[in-house]
């Protein structure tokens, strides 16, 4: 009986320790989606020191997507603690060789059919402003040597 009580106490202590959020970790909301017309979009939002705030940011974005983009399909969501590639470049506000949208607390990269991606980028930035963002701007791809 003594060992059972000790086992339960150790188990509960382990569960409690897994729920503690470490202060040195930063969680960045990352959402990847695609549209039915062939666009692939990666969205990176402002980082948070709390996983719960990160999840809430993702949930708000996904919830808004249900009404603003009925042709969008969520590929993945993540509260990333380490960013690489496009995710890192978006979070660090680096230029990319693809269309990007920058708004307060959000940065997006878009890939897709060349004839559609520019119009969609500009239209999405305009819609973000109509929906209440202070500003949102579409940036065209930056490629080495300045050639588009």
Position 115 scores a pLDDT of: 80
Number of domain units in the chain: 1
Q: Rg for the chain (alpha carbons), in Å?
A: 20
**Is residue 8 situated within a structural domain?**
no
Average pLDDT over every residue of 108-115: 91
**Is residue 21 situated within a structural domain?**
no
Edge to edge, the sheet with strand 99-103 lists 72-80, 28-35, 40-45, 106-111, 99-103, 136-139
- Range(s) of the domain holding residue 98: 28-142
pLDDT for 4 beyond 90: no
What pTM value is reported for the model?
Answer: 0.78
Average pLDDT, the chain: 86
Q: Which of 20-34, 37-51, 75-89, 93-107 has the lowest mean pLDDT?
A: 20-34
Nearest to 26 by CA among 45, 4, 7, 6: 45
**Is residue 128 situated within a structural domain?**
yes
**Is residue 3 situated within a structural domain?**
no
**Is residue 59 situated within a structural domain?**
yes
Buried b / exposed e along 92-115 (16+ C-beta atoms within 10 A): eeeebebbbbbbeebbbbbbbeee
């Amino acid at each position: 009986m003594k060992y059972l009580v000790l086992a339960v106490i150790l188990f509960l202590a382990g569960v409690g320790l897994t729920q503690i959020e470490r202060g040195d970790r930063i969680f960045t909301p990352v959402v990847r989606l695609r549209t039915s017309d062939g666009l692939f979009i990666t969205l990176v939002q402002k980082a948070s020191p709390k996983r719960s705030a990160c999840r809430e940011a993702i949930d708000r974005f996904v919830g808004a997507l249900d009404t603003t983009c009925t042709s969008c399909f969520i590929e993945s969501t993540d509260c990333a603690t380490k960013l690489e590639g496009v995710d890192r470049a978006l979070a660090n506000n680096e230029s990319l060789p693809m269309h990007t949208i920058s708004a307060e607390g959000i940065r997006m990269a878009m890939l897709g059919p060349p004839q559609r991606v520019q119009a969609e980028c500009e239209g999405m930035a305009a819609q973000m402003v109509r929906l209440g963002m202070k500003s949102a701007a579409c940036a065209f791809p930056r490629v080495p040597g300045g050639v588009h």
